[in-house]
Amino acid sequence: MNTTLPRFPLTRLLAGCALAASVALAASSAMAQAWPNKPVRIVVPYGAGSSPDVIARIVAEKLSPRLGQPVIIENRAGGGGNNGTGAVAKAAGDGYTFVISTNGPLVYNTVLYKKLSYDPFTELRPVVLAGGQANICAVRSDSGITTLKELVDAMKKEPGKFNFSSTGVGSLSQLGVELLKVKTNTFAVHIPYASSPLAILAILQGDVQFACVPAVAVIPQVKAGKMRTLAVSTAQRSQLTPEIPTMKEAGLPEIENLAWMAVMAPASTPNDIVQRMNQEINAVLAMPDVKAKLHAQYMEPIGGSEQDLQRFMQQELRVMTPVIKRTGISIE
């Protein structure tokens, strides 16, 4: 019996590979050209009125005519943003489901949680970094506290009195305060909420004494005379709220952070569709009226490539992992 395997000329083999690649590329291109042929869904893993919800709706309004299909925003709050983010991680990568999520579900929770139901670094793929905003530390206007130093002093004097609200377990609005507590050797009880408006409502109702949450939820209450700002979380004063001092100016030099929002897709979403979505969202973010609407909500558009977002997330993981571990937070 002749067991010698048949041999094919290398040129024929290469030609076959090239043909297969050409067919695959043509199929991918055809898919991208046909996409979308039905509504596109963007999941927001937080409640209505939250920062991701606000930016998602501003972008969706302009994105829809560019795609030629409705862009539907679906709020799926809960689990500190994990529920909605995880649902998209498990969704079909057909180009019709995306998520606009934040620091916690996309990076921090991989360190905070002993076990997540999804892996944002392997089950989701970056599309674009949509925008960011500073967190603002604030209290009720009748609290008697006028500066961040006064808040820290009050927390030291009465360690059992203070509670703070956040937009969820593992959110930047929690971790920023946890870092503040570590740096100032103070104590306050964390009470998580599903969105920044609810976190602010908790202050107004007296359920908590302070919070460090996005400006979009804080500033309207400040203008209404119901709340007072103490500090902004970024390294420099925000151009959108130049009157609010940084934490460094308040004597807390190592407390700097940014609340950011990124569009992600299921990992199996085709490259051409991700690239198209990236290009269209970048175009929307560059529109003057979109910038104006975002600035009115105290948000800065960012944009960039998928690779930019991927590098940014890895950087955030490197920077925040030791911070999270230093706070001692661990969630089952």
- How does pLDDT run along the chain (332 residues), one tens digit per residue? 443 333 434 444 444 544 544 444 444 455 556 899 999 999 999 888 888 999 999 999 999 999 999 999 999 998 889 999 999 999 999 999 999 999 999 999 999 998 899 999 999 999 999 999 989 999 999 999 999 999 999 999 998 899 999 988 778 888 889 888 988 999 999 999 988 889 999 999 999 999 999 888 899 999 999 999 999 988 888 888 999 999 889 877 677 888 899 999 999 999 999 999 999 999 999 999 999 999 998 899 999 999 999 999 999 999 889 888 877 888 87
- Sign of CA pseudo-dihedral 252, 157, 112, 93: negative
301 closest CA partner among 50, 51, 23: 51
Structure tokens at 264: 């992600």
Residue 13: its pLDDT value, please? 42
Indicate the CATH number for domain 38-132+259-327: 3.40.190.150
CA–CA gap between residue 308 and residue 281 (Å, rounded): 14
CA–CA gap between residue 33 and residue 235 (Å, rounded): 43
Domain boundaries, the chain: 38-132+259-327, 135-232
Structure tokens at 57: 């709706």
Per CATH, 38-132+259-327 and 135-232 having the same topology is answered yes
Q: Note every long-range contact of 83-87, with CB atoms under 8 Å and residues 24 or more positions apart, other chains counting.
A: 83/45, 84/43, 84/44, 84/45, 84/46, 85/43, 85/45, 85/118, 85/120, 85/124, 85/264, 86/116, 86/117, 86/118, 87/43
Residue 18: its pLDDT value, please? 47
Query: Against a cut of 0.95, is the pTM above it?
Result: no
Phi then psi for residue 192, to 5 deg, are -80, 150
Indicate the CATH number for domain 135-232: 3.40.190.10
Phi then psi for residue 254, to 5 deg, are -100, 10
Residue 2: its pLDDT value, please? 40
CA–CA gap between residue 233 and residue 248 (Å, rounded): 9
CA–CA gap between residue 19 and residue 40 (Å, rounded): 33
Taking every pair of Cα atoms in the chain, the longest distance, rounded to a whole number of angstroms, is 96
> Residue 186: how many CB atoms within 10 A of its CB?
18
Sequence-ordered list of residues with C-beta below 8 angstroms from that of 198, at least 6 positions apart, any chain: 47, 165
